[in-house]
């Protein structure tokens, strides 16, 4: 029997069959290294200065990347072990009806981040065009948005596993590594003229604590938590999903954040793209990184489609993906996305306690598939922990500004979920 004849009506809430799992360690690592690279990540690295000293910034980058990517890999392992998407994991922990709320919030945030990625790609494209003497007309930003949106639509019409294994792993990854190596070499050469030891010993001006900086670094891997299971579920081994995603994303996050710090030290500028263009060969290197941004926008659209399909399975994942890609393109053309970034970060904060509870409930060998099949309409204990976690996340800065919010909230919700694990087996199972 072929896979198409046995495909369930709701692919997001059914485990991926063993014979359909194709991702190995290299696929997980390549995908998450590629998704971890981005202009926005470099810009976030530049934000660490001048508040922190150079060494403090690098320490925060290392710690935040390792911890954040580890959480990403852990959720990926849960998705791979169970074969469930992120939506399926949410159903198992929060109940088959209530889970629709965080799934809907995830769709909203993915629409926002997908649109924001298109804006970043558009702005970088226009900057590259102006650098070469073209794209000076007023219509170019609109046209660039439509072009990149069309690329995402084209990719959404294809097969996700083929895209990851043949395009990202074999083509995009080597190109983006070469571009990062070139930019790193160029900015290290610039730094050496000033004196690398002098730059490394540069003191901070204050205004940001070490843990707050770690919070800023960990924000990137945490923002991908609602997406990782959608891809890891296609893996052959939970161990390879864990270590592949962890290794790939940690390396990319450390590299890009550190490159942002290096750029800020050597060519302080409010416009990161302009600073990168000043490097020798920066035009080519930046163009390759810009191409790598495509998979970030694709990742948002694909996972948004998976979440939407879980709610309304009458539409296929591909059909939902095409709609979401089109919506992202339209939103990128009409909304002031840069001013909406704080709202998107606020929305993302809901997912820190959400996954703290999920990790606590699904860790240590819990069968997520059985838990989902037996789920009541609402698991009120898990819902209560999530709501309390959101409140804790936003109230903690009023108590202390030195701890950050993400790590304390994750720790609290995880511990509370583990301590109350027996409650997830209470309540009536779902009716067949």
pLDDT at 5: 39
pLDDT at 4: 39
Q: Which two tokens stand for residue 378?
A: 């609402």
Domains of the chain, with CATH numbers? 20-342 (1.10.4160.10)
Q: How wide is the angle at C-alpha 378 spanned by C-alphas 372 and 383, nearest 5°? A: 105
Please state, in angstroms and rounded to a whole number, the distance separating the CA atoms of residues 298 and 73: 20
| pLDDT values of the chain reduced to their tens digit, one per residue, 432 residues | 333 334 457 999 999 999 999 999 999 999 999 999 988 889 888 889 999 999 999 999 999 999 999 999 999 999 999 999 999 999 999 999 999 999 999 999 999 889 989 998 998 888 888 877 777 777 888 999 999 999 999 999 999 988 888 888 888 888 889 889 988 998 898 888 878 888 888 898 888 888 888 988 988 898 899 999 999 999 999 999 999 999 999 999 999 999 999 988 988 776 777 778 777 777 888 888 888 889 899 999 999 999 999 999 999 999 999 999 999 999 999 887 666 667 766 777 899 999 999 999 998 878 889 988 888 999 999 999 999 999 999 999 888 877 778 889 999 999 999 999 887 765 444 333
> Could you tell me where the beta strands, DSSP code E, fall in 237-292?
none
Q: How many alpha carbons lie under 13 Å from residue 91 in its C-beta half-sphere?
A: 27
pLDDT at 70: 96
Task: Label residue 358 left, alpha or beta by phi (over 0 means left) and psi (-120 to 50 means alpha).
Answer: alpha
Q: How many alpha carbons lie under 13 Å from residue 275 in its C-beta half-sphere?
A: 21
Q: Identify the residue whose tokens are 């169970």.
A: 82
pLDDT at 429: 43
Burial class (CB in 10 A: 0-12, 13-18, 19+), 394: middle
Residues 6+ apart with CB under 8 A from 294: 121, 148, 151, 152, 155
Cis peptide bond upstream of 50, omega within 30: yes
Please state, in angstroms and rounded to a whole number, the distance separating the CA atoms of residues 212 and 209: 5
Q: How wide is the angle at C-alpha 384 spanned by C-alphas 381 and 385, nearest 5°? A: 90
In 3D space, the residue among 412, 418, 296 whose CA is nearest the CA of residue 352 turns out to be 412
b/e sequence 203-227, b meaning 16+ C-beta within 10 Å: ebeeebbbbbbbbbbbbbbbbbbbb
Residues 6+ apart with CB under 8 A from 88: 12, 13, 14, 15, 82, 229, 310, 368, 372
Sign of the Cα torsion 305, 306, 311, 312 reads positive
Q: Which residues pair with 23 in a beta bridge?
A: 235
Per-residue model confidence as pLDDT tens digits over 77-102: 999 999 999 999 999 999 999 999 99
In 3D space, the residue among 254, 219, 237, 222 whose CA is nearest the CA of residue 33 turns out to be 254
pLDDT at 32: 96
In 3D space, the residue among 382, 244, 229 whose CA is nearest the CA of residue 302 turns out to be 229
Q: Which two tokens stand for residue 136?
A: 């000076």
Please state, in angstroms and rounded to a whole number, the distance separating the CA atoms of residues 141 and 311: 34
Q: Which two tokens stand for residue 112?
A: 């926002």
Q: How many alpha carbons lie under 13 Å from residue 68 in its C-beta half-sphere?
A: 30
């Amino acid at each position: 029997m072929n896979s198409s004849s046995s495909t369930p009506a709701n692919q997001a809430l059914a485990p991926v069959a063993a014979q359909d799992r194709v991702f190995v360690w290299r696929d997980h690592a390549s995908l998450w290294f590629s998704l971890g690279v981005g202009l926005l990540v470099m810009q976030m690295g530049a934000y660490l200065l001048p508040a922190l000293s150079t060494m403090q910034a690098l320490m925060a980058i290392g710690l935040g990347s390792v911890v954040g990517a580890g959480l990403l890999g852990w959720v990926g392992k849960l998705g791979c072990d169970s074969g469930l998407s992120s939506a399926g994991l949410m159903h198992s922990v929060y109940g088959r009806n209530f889970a629709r709320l965080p799934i809907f919030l995830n769709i909203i945030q993915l629409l926002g981040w997908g649109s924001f990625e298109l804006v970043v790609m558009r702005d970088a494209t226009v900057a590259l065009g102006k650098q070469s003497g073209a794209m000076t007309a007023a219509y170019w930003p609109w046209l660039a948005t439509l072009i990149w949106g069309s690329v995402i639509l084209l990719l959404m019409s294809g097969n996700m596993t083929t895209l990851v294994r043949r395009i990202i792993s074999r083509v995009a990854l080597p190109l983006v590594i070469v571009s990062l190596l070139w930019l790193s070499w160029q900015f290290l050469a610039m730094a050496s003229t000033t004196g690398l030891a002098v730059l490394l010993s540069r003191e901070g001006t204050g205004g940001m604590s070490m843990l707050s900086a770690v919070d800023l670094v960990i924000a990137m891997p945490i923002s991908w938590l609602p997406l990782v299971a959608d891809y890891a579920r296609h893996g052959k081994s939970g161990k390879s999903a864990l270590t592949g995603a962890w290794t790939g994303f940690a390396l990319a996050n450390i590299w890009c954040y550190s490159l942002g710090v290096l750029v800020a030290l050597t060519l302080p500028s409010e416009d990161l793209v302009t600073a990168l263009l000043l490097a020798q060969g920066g035009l080519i290197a930046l163009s390759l990184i810009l191409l790598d941004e495509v998979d970030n926008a694709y990742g948002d659209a694909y996972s948004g489609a998976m979440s939407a399909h879980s709610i309304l399975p009458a539409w296929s994942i591909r059909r939902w993906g095409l709609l979401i890609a089109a919506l992202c393109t339209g939103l990128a053309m009409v909304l002031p996305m840069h001013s909406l970034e704080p709202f998107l970060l606020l929305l993302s904060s809901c997912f820190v306690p959400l996954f703290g509870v999920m990790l606590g409930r699904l860790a240590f060998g819990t069968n997520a598939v059985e838990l989902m099949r037996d789920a009541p309409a609402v698991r009120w204990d898990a819902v209560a922990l999530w709501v309390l976690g959101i409140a804790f996340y936003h109230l903690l800065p009023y108590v202390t500004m030195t701890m950050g919010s993400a790590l304390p909230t994750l720790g609290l919700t995880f511990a509370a979920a583990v301590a109350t694990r027996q409650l997830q087996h209470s309540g009536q199972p779902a009716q067949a």
